Amino acid sequence: MSSLRVMEEKIRSIIDKDIQSSFGLEIERREDPLGNSIFLFFLTRNKIESRAVDALIDWTNSWIDIILNQRKFSRFVDKEVTSALLGFYALKSVGRLRIEVDTDKLVGLISEFVTDDSFFDNFTYTTLILFSLVKQRSKIPMFNRLFEGIRRNLHKEALFNDVKNLIFASLLLEAINAQDDLKRLVRACFEKVEKNAVRFDDRVYYAWVLWYNRRIMEERDLPKIINFTKDALENTARIFGTEELDESVIEMYGYDTEPEKFPKMLLGTTLDLLISFNASRIMLPVPNIVYIEQKLSSLGWTEAWRELDKALEGFEDGRMSDCCNNLRMGLIIVWIKVCEKLEGKPIPTQVGKTVDIGRLNKCLETHGLPEDTIGMVSRTWSYVSDRAHIEKRGGQAPSELEVRYGIQLAFATIEHLLRLV
Amino acid sequence: MPTFLLGNRIEREPNLLFDKSDSSAVHPQVYWGLRTYGPYDKGISSVRLGIISPQSRMDQVKKLIDELNKGTPIMPGGMPKFFGSNLDVVVEMPVNSTEVSSYEDKCWAFVKSSDPSEVDVVLVYIPKTSRYFSNTPYYRSKAILASEGYSSQMITDSTFLNLKWSYLNLASAIYAKAGGIPWVLESEMKNVDILLGISISNLVSEKYRAGVSARYVGYVNVFDSYGKWMFFEGTAKSYEEGKIFEQLKELLSKAFQKFEAEKRFRPKNVVIHYYKRWGKEETDSVIKILDELLGDFNVGFISIDDSHPFRVYDTNVADGSFPRGHYAYLGENAILMSTTGFTTIAAKRMGTPKLLHVVSRMQHPSKFIEMEDLALQILSLTKLDWATATPLVREPVTLLFSREIAYLTAVVSEQEWKSIIRPEVNAILSRRPWFI
Amino acid sequence: MQRVESKMFEPDVFKVYARFGNFFRINYKLGKIFIWESDPKEKIGIGKTIFFEGKFYSYEGGDAAREVTPNLQILKSMITRQFGLKLRNLKYMFKGDYRAYKIENQVEHPHKDIFSIFEGFEFRTVIVNEAILLCVDPHIILRANCSLGQLTEKGAPVDQLSDFSVTYISPSPEGKEERIEGYLLGVVRQKADDGEIVLKCRIKNYRSFAEEVVPAHRVFPESRPELIQELLSQIGREFDLVGLQRKLSFLDSKTSSRDRFLKTLEIVKQLKTEVFPLEFGQFKVDLEAEPVVIRL
């Protein structure tokens, strides 16, 4: 799971670098103002603070003034206006808007760009603009008409073909409280997931829509949504990592001269989803999880980590006895390996049989652990093992309260053991 | 004391744009751009294919389509990843033999039983023949299908022998012929509103023509300021020799009318690329016609020629080639430009670069594009051939497309040309680069 | 392809500069140029005149001539003409106006009865920055030696001979023979006056678009490697002519530009000793062996 946290850090770093690389010349900002606004939207939404974000906020404030107030457009008025409006929304949402924007003048401005029930004859820009101005909709006469234009296109294949549209379309529907339309959109995404009809590169966008709107889905759909989201996020390692390339690709097409470039929408969406998804995990009381994962990784004890990860997953999914079983397995693997490391030789085990706990206790005793500490370790082992064996409890799964406690005990014990090596 | 010629270089490889709305979706390389961002135009989710093939090859063709859909090591993710769409076979027609007459019969049977609004591209498996032979399955199939409104993509045994290299080129050509826009330039070409690749006085096929005197047709490919191919127009009829003004008038009228309808503005800066010799009559005719059609305008006549023995070398480069994007001045308005010399964007190059001799023959009423901007324009346009994802293409797309049509006009009959240009077919074909 | 060592003729320019064009400066001592009212070849002989922008110019004067100050275009044109004539005098053969080769530069291969392949060069003269430059580029010249009639005697199926460009020899209105280009529609057997069956080619003349019937022994295929290779295979001889041409054109070399450049210098060195100085009238023309330098 915390490979996802690692990915979150990685993407934050990519975004930071991207923002910082476009500091300097004004012209560079103007080349991709929409990308900047998209970054700003996702970063401020997650209350991320840094010097890069501050610089982006400063730039966006002046950009809003240049475009919305002074109307200093270039030929790329479509992306300039859209980016200024999205930036306006993002800054207003977090109280960082320093520029006065007259709403009447704004309405006058945007009405110049209406063509055939859309802004700039572009679905993406229309969705973004309507979303950005949703709080001012009562003052915008053409708002509803343009929204109807969006609604008419919601179920067309073109929407799903350009998946980034899914994000802001769903945000817009939610902001307007168009629950029926939102539900239809989310269900359509879910059906594609069920049919395995989602392309690999599009999965993060679908996952975003499903994750953020999971509460409007049926309860039985939740495990699928969670799994799909987790899978999609784990697979971003392939998108944002270094791929193994077929030699023929290099021979034919040359090296990628810009290997660190990714679509900004993808970066923003992935980061946003990672933060939300990871945060849902951190609701569990395991503050030492980062230390444990890193230590196990450095020791190469990946099997142990897998068990602990599965335990937490089981807890999230409501599978309490599975959780305890995985905790039990994770704990015993760590305990055995710590003793092997302390003694410098393998601990004998018999196939199909649990290792002799007494032997492990003896090892800890030999290496100076106090008796009561050893007792705590054993008792923790017993605690989670009992709760894993539901057949001994008349088939009754342990309660969430018991398992929470078990997780805290197991992780604390594992940390203590790891600190011995 | 050596004799010196001045030269210059384009510092940065022009970028391509791979998304209509996301301006960060840029990359200088076609392959990596498509792989990272997908196509510029993401509106096509399915390309409906018809197949015409010898029965013995039909399975091979379908396997190719399957691989294009599922992906290969060269093209991971396949059509869905690179072009946001799937290839769906809607019609299959086996051919009895590889004789020309068999292909002609089958193509006619195809067009009679299908509707061009229901088939995007026809994939035709043909025996490989030289393009210097005209009565071949290649040209006959192309002509018949085009005359009834179908874009076609030919594949041969060579395609399968070199499949690794063919995948992406095939995929790109099919996508473009279905009306998709794979990529465009990131930045507008400076001081260009409309770019025209015009060719007039092309002889239509002798063999299939009745009558004695030669007949000529003309055509124009229209590109916008981002190098995006907009449409093709041809003269609706053939002309006698020497009817230059009439051909140009018909072509330019159609071109500007259609441009204005789509872009909603009247172009002011017009740049014309040509490779065949243009004389005073041609340039005077164009100016007169533009006066009538546009009123206020600037027009630049740019000839681009590679049928010369001029070379430039750079001994600092390992293979001695003059690097891509470098050029030498042969005069105030003429340069020799390298588009296939050493570069970091491609690994595989062959031979000595054949340089483009670019001459700004005339700018009327006064100069509005500098030679440096023209050089960048030409280099940028070498990246817009949608028929290939090869990193290095020597010629600008304006000329490439003109040449492709030139080969075709030489082998289609006057009757077939008229069929291709008639309104109901033109409505479909003019928006698809069916000739690539 | 063996690389030629350029050390023997390595001017300093290669030590100082890195970018070169295949242009070589032509220096000349200016002589007199005369303008004639009409073509003076009857009076002064052939090869001494150029026809430029509707007028005749020569380096020789006469009664109906007057001296003029030539512009660079006229000088270039005159020099180019004399250069071409000198090449012909030195037994260079020509393909078109600008591609020259010598018989002794023929490439060895086993099908000389069908075609010949020569290592020659292509040239142009250009005016750049008020200087006249000679451009030289190595060029492979292909020549078809076998007529369509001969090809059929060697086994080429008659019904497969169609749909490609040909050249044929035809008597001109002035009674001379001229080479004409056309498109082969097909080969047919016809009965001659003496009852013998002869092969005739139906050809569409590219210039007049008239269909002509020409005896097959006077018709030659266009000298394209793909076409000649195809015809070879029709007579049962498999030969990779396209590959040979590629090799001779440096296409398969990893240092193709460098190889071509060195070959260019070699050709220019030969021209400098063989052809130059060019002397005609009071003109003396020489060629610099150093290529022009490109300064970025």
Alpha-carbon distance of A169 to A158, in angstroms, equals: 13
Quick one: A277 and A312 in the same domain? no
DSSP state of C147: -
- Which has the higher per-residue pLDDT, C165 or C139? C139
Q: What is the CATH number of the domain that holds A393?
A: 1.20.120.330
Quick one: B248 and B357 in the same domain? yes
Yes or no, beta carbons of A161 and B22 under 8 Å apart:
no
Quick one: B151 and B252 in the same domain? no
The CA-CA-CA angle for residues A147, A150, A153, to 5°, reads 155
pLDDT at A109 over 80: yes
Starting at the edge strand that comes first in sequence, how are the strands of the sheet with C49-52 ordered?
A: C49-52, C55-58, C33-36, C65-68
CA distance B89 to chain C (A): 34
Q: Does A77 touch chain B (CB under 8 A)?
A: no
Q: Is residue B4 part of a domain?
A: no
Q: C98 to chain B: which residues are within 8 Å by CB?
A: 309
Quick one: C131 and C61 in the same domain? yes
Q: Which of B116, B151, B183 is the last residue of a domain?
A: B183
What's the whole-number mean pLDDT along residues C17-29?
Answer: 96
Q: What is the CATH number of the domain that holds C185?
A: 2.30.30.140
Chains touching C (at least 3 CB pairs under 8 A) are B
Q: What is the CATH number of the domain that holds B267?
A: 3.30.420.10
Quick one: C227 and C281 in the same domain? no
Quick one: A162 and A266 in the same domain? yes
Q: Does B162 touch chain A (CB under 8 A)?
A: no
Q: Does B179 touch chain A (CB under 8 A)?
A: no
Chains touching A (at least 3 CB pairs under 8 A) are B
The CA-CA-CA angle for residues B408, B411, B415, to 5°, reads 100
Alpha-carbon distance of A142 to A144, in angstroms, equals: 6
DSSP state of C158: G
**A2-11, B293-302, B307-316, C284-293: least confident range:** A2-11
Quick one: C107 and C25 in the same domain? yes
Quick one: C268 and C224 in the same domain? no
- Provide the percentage of residues in chain C whose pLDDT is more than 90: 71
Starting at the edge strand that comes first in sequence, how are the strands of the sheet with C219-221 ordered?
A: C211-215, C197-205, C177-191, C164-171, C219-221
Q: Which two tokens stand for residue A334?
A: 């760590």
Quick one: B64 and B192 in the same domain? no
Q: Is residue A214 part of a domain?
A: yes
Q: Is residue B298 part of a domain?
A: yes
Q: Is residue A32 part of a domain?
A: yes
Yes or no, beta carbons of A201 and B77 under 8 Å apart:
yes
Q: Which of B149, B183, B217 is the last residue of a domain?
A: B183
Q: What is the CATH number of the domain that holds A12?
A: 1.50.10.20
Alpha-carbon distance of A179 to B283, in angstroms, equals: 63
Q: C257 to chain B: which residues are within 8 Å by CB?
A: 311, 313-314, 317, 319-322, 341, 352-353
Q: Which of C184, C201, C234 is the last residue of a domain?
A: C234
Quick one: A271 and A316 in the same domain? no
Alpha-carbon distance of B170 to A403, in angstroms, equals: 57
Quick one: A275 and A399 in the same domain? no
Picking from A298, A267, A269, the residue whose alpha carbon sits closest to that of residue A13 is A267
Yes or no, beta carbons of B348 and A252 under 8 Å apart:
yes
pLDDT at C5 over 50: no
Q: B212 to chain C: which residues are within 8 Å by CB?
A: 209-210
> Is the bond leading into B365 cis (omega within 30 degrees of zero)?
yes
Give the model confidence (pLDDT) of B315-332 as tens digits: 999 999 999 999 999 999
Q: B214 to chain C: which residues are within 8 Å by CB?
A: 209
Mode of pairing for the β-strands spanning B86-95 and B46-54: parallel
Q: Is residue A254 part of a domain?
A: no
Q: Is residue C166 part of a domain?
A: yes
pLDDT at B199 over 90: no
Q: What is the pTM of this model?
A: 0.82
What are the beta bridge partners of residue C168? C180, C219
Q: Is residue A385 part of a domain?
A: yes
Q: C135 to chain B: which residues are within 8 Å by CB?
A: 308-310
Q: Is residue B73 part of a domain?
A: yes
Quick one: A272 and A311 in the same domain? no
Q: Is residue B429 part of a domain?
A: no
pLDDT at B207 over 60: no
What's the whole-number mean pLDDT along residues B285-305?
Answer: 94
Give the model confidence (pLDDT) of A244-294 as tens digits: 777 888 888 888 888 888 889 999 999 999 999 887 765 555 778 878 988
Give the model confidence (pLDDT) of A116-141 as tens digits: 889 998 999 999 999 999 999 999 99
Site from C19, C222, C264 to mutate, B interface, most B CB atoms within 10 angstroms? C19
Quick one: A62 and A21 in the same domain? yes
Q: Does B77 touch chain A (CB under 8 A)?
A: yes
Rg of chain A on CA atoms, in Å: 26
Give the model confidence (pLDDT) of B80-131 as tens digits: 999 999 999 999 999 989 889 999 999 999 999 999 999 999 999 998 876 6
Domain count across chain C: 2
Quick one: B125 and B228 in the same domain? no
The CA-CA-CA angle for residues A325, A326, A332, to 5°, reads 90
Q: B313 to chain C: which residues are within 8 Å by CB?
A: 19-22, 257-258, 260-261
Quick one: A27 and A136 in the same domain? yes
Quick one: C118 and C39 in the same domain? yes
What are the beta bridge partners of residue B304? B358
Q: Is residue A63 part of a domain?
A: yes
Q: Which of C186, C204, C234 is the last residue of a domain?
A: C234
Quick one: C187 and C74 in the same domain? no
Q: Which of C211, C234, C257 is the last residue of a domain?
A: C234
Quick one: B95 and B143 in the same domain? yes
Quick one: C118 and C170 in the same domain? no
Quick one: A294 and A155 in the same domain? no
Domain count across chain B: 2
Q: Is residue C265 part of a domain?
A: yes
Q: Is residue C149 part of a domain?
A: no
Q: Does A160 touch chain B (CB under 8 A)?
A: yes
Quick one: C14 and C134 in the same domain? yes
Nearest residue in chain B measured CA to CA from C229: B130
pLDDT of residue C2: 34
Alpha-carbon distance of C48 to C77, in angstroms, equals: 12
Quick one: B169 and B215 in the same domain? no
Q: Which of A228, A248, A282 is the last residue of a domain?
A: A282
Quick one: C138 and C247 in the same domain? yes
ipTM score: 0.89
Picking from B369, B391, B368, B394, the residue whose alpha carbon sits closest to that of residue B379 is B394
Alpha-carbon distance of C160 to C45, in angstroms, equals: 48
DSSP state of C7: G
Quick one: B225 and B339 in the same domain? yes
What's the whole-number mean pLDDT along residues C94-110?
Answer: 95
Q: Which of B183, B205, B220 is the last residue of a domain?
A: B183
pLDDT of residue C66: 93
pLDDT at C6 over 50: no
Quick one: A192 and A305 in the same domain? no
Q: Does B2 touch chain C (CB under 8 A)?
A: yes
B window 328-367, beta carbon within 8 A of C: 328, 330-331, 336, 341, 350-353
Nearest residue in chain C measured CA to CA from B340: C257
Domain count across chain A: 2
- In terms of residue numbers, what domain contains C48? 7-144+242-293
Q: Is residue B378 part of a domain?
A: yes
Q: B25 to chain A: which residues are within 8 Å by CB?
A: 263
Alpha-carbon distance of A170 to A211, in angstroms, equals: 12
Give the model confidence (pLDDT) of B319-370 as tens digits: 999 999 999 999 999 999 999 999 988 877 788 999 999 999 999 999 999 9
How far, CA to CA in Å, does A8 sit from each of A5, A123, B188, C37? 5, 30, 36, 88
Quick one: B407 and B311 in the same domain? yes
Q: B73 to chain A: which residues are within 8 Å by CB?
A: 246, 248-249
Among A75, A200, A256, the residue with its CB nearest the CB of B32 is: A256
Q: Is residue C54 part of a domain?
A: yes
Quick one: B157 and B246 in the same domain? no
Quick one: B383 and B277 in the same domain? yes
Yes or no, beta carbons of B5 and C209 under 8 Å apart:
no
Give the model confidence (pLDDT) of B233-264 as tens digits: 888 777 877 788 988 999 999 999 999 999 98
What's the whole-number mean pLDDT along residues A62-90?
Answer: 93
Alpha-carbon distance of A208 to A272, in angstroms, equals: 8
Q: Which residue has the tokens 């067009």?
A: B111
Q: Is residue B330 part of a domain?
A: yes
Cβ-Cβ contacts under 8 Å for B28 (sequence gap 6 or more): A257, A258, B13, B14, B15, B16, B345
Q: Which residue has the tokens 């600037």?
A: B298
pLDDT of residue B36: 92
Yes or no, beta carbons of A199 and B81 under 8 Å apart:
yes
Yes or no, beta carbons of A261 and B27 under 8 Å apart:
yes
Quick one: C16 and C134 in the same domain? yes
pLDDT at A352 over 90: no
Quick one: A30 and A54 in the same domain? yes
> Is the bond leading into C277 cis (omega within 30 degrees of zero)?
yes
pLDDT of residue B290: 95
Quick one: B150 and B197 in the same domain? no
Among B6, B136, B313, the residue with its CB nearest the CB of C257 is: B313
Yes or no, beta carbons of A251 and B85 under 8 Å apart:
no
Quick one: B127 and B54 in the same domain? yes
- In terms of residue numbers, what domain contains A76? 2-240+260-282
Look at the alpha carbons of A199, A202, A206, A211 in this order and tell me if their dihedral is positive or negative: positive
Tell me phi and psi for residue C290, to 5 degrees: -85, 135
Yes or no, beta carbons of C19 and B316 under 8 Å apart:
yes
- In terms of residue numbers, what domain contains B55? 20-183
Nearest residue in chain B measured CA to CA from C139: B309
What's the whole-number mean pLDDT along residues B289-305?
Answer: 94
What's the whole-number mean pLDDT along residues A88-92?
Answer: 96
Q: What is the CATH number of the domain that holds B42?
A: 3.40.50.2300
Q: Is residue A355 part of a domain?
A: yes
